[in-house]
Amino acid sequence: MFFVILIHYGEIALKGKNRGFFEKALSENIKKTLEKGFFKSIKVGFGRILLELPEGVDLKEVEKKLSTVFGIANFAFVLKTTAEIKALKEKSLALLEKEDFKTFRVTAKRAEKALPFTSQQVNEELGGLIQNKLLKKVKLENPDLTLFIEITNKEAFLFIKKIKGLGGLPVGVSGKAVSLLSGGIDSPVASLMAMKRGLEVLLAHFESVPYSTKQSIEKVEKLAQKLNVYQKPLKLYLFPFASIQKEILLKCQEQFRVILYRRAMFKIAEKLANEEKAKVLVTGDNLGQVASQTIENLNTVGKAVDLLVLRPLICYDKEEIIEKSKKLGFFETSILPFNDCCSRFLPRMPEIHSKINEVIKEEAKCEKLSELIENAFKNAKIKKIN
């Protein structure tokens, strides 16, 4: 019965002269997500997207896939007809006759004001019809069922259920970002929040073989696969980090280790960003959560690069982040007991209030650091997640 989906977007409608760019990006992302066989055509017009489906398509699977596309405010499986009162009456009865409800309301909207009837006239005509033919009662507040009708210049769409989308902006419209993916709870959530604001995310992970295990890398790959649901395609870069850790371990004061690890990671991530024309770095940093995430230490680490660093989770409580991780399906993978490279060789008394000049002096003790960073960048393993 339902072979058409009406897709609404939120913020995109406010983009003025640039709206076409955002609409095109959203349409392309919908195509990538649905793939061939799940749709016949996709059209943009009158502030909405119309998706036509082939007969026999799995509607539940289509709903599941559309629920992973950023930029969609809501969508509905609709009956399509002509923009005429007679046709609207026929389709409304066909749509509602098998529904179980006692009270209802009709909510009509016209995108084309030149039509020979008003939205209120549609509400009244169809409301009276349903009341008389189906013996139902009109109730404007909190009815059992709402019949939604959207009318363009030639077509009309009827539906009774809106399915909530993810909102946000289409992935890619804000440019690219390099997201540092540790394998813990925070960084996958931060990566997803960056996607929601229209960033195409490149994932950067730092592995420390032989100090880190094969399982820790497999864990990160699983998280990347979960993120791939929301962005297609997705690349995961695995950078070798053991030689850098060893250099810092042997030559620098113990309390600065994690800060220096993080600065080196940022420098590698910036190289990737420059190569891929990414505009920002993204991290799962959360203010005060661990010793390396005090204001002073975040500032010291951030000054290792020229790029803007986005920290989507900076002011969240840990419980809020865990709740998001669970809701998104990341949590069970994130808590697997396979730690990343930063958990190796941790200082007994880490520096909490670092000063940039002191850290730069410590960094200067690592004469080979620039060379090691360049080698790590050149020897990255790239995994395309599909």
Domains of the chain: 4-164 (3.30.2130.30), 176-385 (3.40.50.620)
pLDDT of residue 254: 93
* 9 bridge partner residues: 72
DSSP state of 376: H
**Stretch among 77-86, 93-102, 331-340, 369-378 having the lowest mean pLDDT:** 331-340
5 closest CA partner among 63, 58, 55: 63
Q: Binding site for ATP: residue ranges?
A: 180-181, 205-206, 262, 284, 293
Which residue type, as a one-letter code, is found at position 61?
A: E
User: pLDDT, tens digit, for every residue of 167-178?
Assistant: 999 999 999 999
The sign of the torsion formed by the CA atoms of 360, 361, 364, 366 equals: negative
Query: What is the spatial distance between Cα 241 and Cα 264, in angstroms, rounded to a whole number?
Result: 9
Give the residue carrying structure tokens 């007969």. Answer: 55
Q: Binding site: residue ranges?
A: 180-181, 205-206, 262, 284, 293
Mean pLDDT, to the nearest integer, of 176-196? Answer: 97
365 closest CA partner among 246, 252, 250: 252
pTM above 0.85, yes or no: yes
First to last CA, the chain: 32
Question: Is residue 127 scored above 70 in pLDDT?
Answer: yes
CB 247 within 8 A of CB 372: yes
Please report which confidence band the pLDDT of residue 10 belongs to, taking 50, 70 and 90 as the band edges.
confident
Which residue type, as a one-letter code, is found at position 153?
A: N
Alpha carbon distances (Å) from 227 to 37, 154, 193, 326, 355: 23, 40, 11, 14, 36
Q: 59 Cβ partners below 8 Å, 6+ apart?
A: 2, 53, 77
Query: What is the spatial distance between Cα 75 and Cα 49, in angstroms, rounded to a whole number?
Result: 9
* 45 bridge partner residues: 48
Q: What is the dihedral of CA 172, 262, 290, 308, to 10 degrees?
A: -40
Please report which confidence band the pLDDT of residue 342 belongs to, taking 50, 70 and 90 as the band edges.
low
Burial (Cβ within 10 Å: 0-12, 13-18, ≥19) of residue 77: buried
